[in-house]
C-alpha cells in the first residue's frame, strides 16, 4: 500500500500547490469584502444595543412565569416516570 499512498501523496501535493495561487488571489478579495462590510456592521451596533435592554426586560418578565412552571414541570416529569 505504501507505493499507492506515495503516488497519491505526490499528486495531492501538486494539486495543493496548484491551488495556492487561486487561494492567494481570493484572499485579498475576501479581505476587501470584509472591510467593506465593517462600516455596515458598526452602524448596526446601536440597533443591537437598543434591542439588548428590551430583550433583557422580556427575559426578566419571563422569570416569574418560568419559576411558577418549574415545580409543575418537575411534578409532571415525576408523574411521567411513575407511569413508565
> Is residue 83 scored above 70 in pLDDT?
no
Q: What is the pLDDT of residues 6-31, one digit of tens each?
A: 777 777 777 777 777 777 777 777 77
Q: What is the pLDDT of residues 32-82, one digit of tens each?
A: 777 777 787 777 777 777 777 777 777 777 777 777 777 777 776 666 666
Neighbours of 55 (CB within 10 A): 9
Q: What pLDDT, on the 0 to 100 scale, is given for residue 70?
A: 73
C-alpha cell at 84: 413508565
For residue 39, give its domain range: 1-84
d(CA 69, CA 48): 30
d(CA 11, CA 17): 10
Domain total in the chain: 1
**1: helix, strand or coil:** coil
Amino acid at each position: 500500500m505504501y507505493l499507492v499512498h506515495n503516488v497519491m501523496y505526490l499528486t495531492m501535493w501538486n494539486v495543493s500547490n496548484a491551488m495556492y495561487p487561486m487561494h492567494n488571489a481570493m484572499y485579498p478579495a475576501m479581505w476587501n469584502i470584509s472591510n467593506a462590510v465593517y462600516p455596515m456592521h458598526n452602524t448596526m451596533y446601536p440597533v443591537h444595543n437598543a434591542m439588548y435592554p428590551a430583550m433583557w426586560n422580556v427575559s426578566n418578565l419571563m422569570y416569574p412565569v418560568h419559576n411558577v412552571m418549574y415545580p409543575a414541570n418537575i411534578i409532571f416529569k415525576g408523574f411521567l416516570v411513575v407511569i413508565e
